[in-house]
Amino acid sequence: MLLVPSAGWDNISENLMQLFTNAFIQQCRFNPQHNAASEQMLFEGLPHYLQEYNADQSAQAADESQSSLKIKLQHNDNVHEISLPRSSVYSRLNAFYQKILQQLASLDDTGGSPLFVSDRLGQLPQVLDVLGQHQGCLREVQMLSEDAVAHSCLRYSDALVSGADAVRFVSQLESKREEPQPISHRDAQSPQATHILYGHCAVPLRAGVLIRQLGTGAEQGVRVRIVTDAPDKLPSNAIALAQISVNNGQYTVHQNEALTLNGVKIAASEVLALGDDLQFPSLSESLKLIAVQEQDA
């Protein structure tokens, strides 16, 4: 577990609160932090605003909608709305991401160790992109499920639960590795997926891919990017749809937009297999995991 001073949710939320408050003051002549109710409303809305950052905006044709985040706040009988550049939100968040990267470098200077992030951290805009970079190379990043901590506590309950007479101080735990549970439609004997197909284009999965949507209206489309691409090299109107990571030959999709897998809605992440069909609401065509057979020499 990595502890990064001054980079927790308290620090992030306080920084974003000030960013949004300044925008409300400049654009609406309204200070939400001058009233306890509106201040609490703004604070509780932060996770929703960050989800909106990742949400698809392709239904809106204006370029301004692509580059700006709309935030509404109701106070008494008035509704105040601001338009905040996404770049300014990312700039604030990236300052914290860089602190995490600095701490990671002190623990793993080669970037060879896999990094596990909580589902809350993984939902922050572009954080998986940033943490997946290490001096121009790829770092393996996996986002844990929502119940990962609770599940681990249950697994280690015998070592964590104290007796009636004394409090047990636990500084380390013996690793208990679990074998992946079999999933009905994922046959271990079936061929392994090698590419992801969108339209007439198949892109190698290799160490994982980022799925980005570019353009709006008639220009709407999707580009599949290798995960090693730096976020700042992506076009300003690129919208993150999902990331597919690889661990021990197993593919896992981590979504930023509502996603259905083989016609069924999924949670924040899901294991994938050959033949799986990914459908995003903003895309007219689905993405499919396929296997490209190499010709024998």
* pLDDT category of residue 186 using cuts at 50, 70 and 90: very low
- CATH class of the 195-290 domain in this structure: mainly beta
3-state SS, residue 117: strand
227-235, Cβ contacts within 8 angstroms, sequence gap of 24 or more: 227/129, 227/132, 227/138, 228/132, 228/133, 228/136, 228/137, 228/138, 230/129, 230/133, 231/126, 231/129, 231/130
Predicted confidence (pLDDT) per residue in 67-91, tens digit:
788 889 988 888 999 998 888 999 9
Phi first, then psi: give them for residue 112, nearest 5 degrees: -85, -15
**What are the DSSP calls for 146-185, one per residue?**
TTHHHHHHHHTHHHH---SS-PPP-S-------PPPP-TT
* pLDDT category of residue 214 using cuts at 50, 70 and 90: low
Mean pLDDT value across residues 233-249: 70
Neighbours of 133 (CB within 10 A): 19
Predicted confidence (pLDDT) per residue in 108-133, tens digit:
877 778 888 888 888 888 888 888 87
Pick 27 or 160 by higher pLDDT: 27
Token pair belonging to 235: 């076009």
User: pLDDT value at position 136?
Assistant: 63
C-alpha of 292 from chain center: 28
Percent of the chain as helix, strand, coil, to the nearest 5? 30, 25, 40
User: pLDDT value at position 33?
Assistant: 93
pLDDT(165) > 70: yes
pLDDT(53) > 90: no
pLDDT(233) > 70: no
Pick 217 or 203 by higher pLDDT: 203
Closest C-alpha among 189, 179, 220, 187 to residue 56: 220
User: pLDDT value at position 49?
Assistant: 87
Pick 158 or 98 by higher pLDDT: 98
CA distance 15 to 94: 12
3-state SS, residue 143: strand
Domain ranges of the chain: 9-89, 195-290
The reply to whether the predicted model has a pTM over 0.95 is no
3-state SS, residue 251: strand
First to last CA, the chain: 47
- CATH class of the 9-89 domain in this structure: alpha beta
3-state SS, residue 233: helix
Phi first, then psi: give them for residue 68, nearest 5 degrees: -125, 150
Percentage, residues of the chain above pLDDT 70: 77
* pLDDT category of residue 237 using cuts at 50, 70 and 90: low
Tokens 């597919």 correspond to what residue? 244
The DSSP output letter for 224 is E
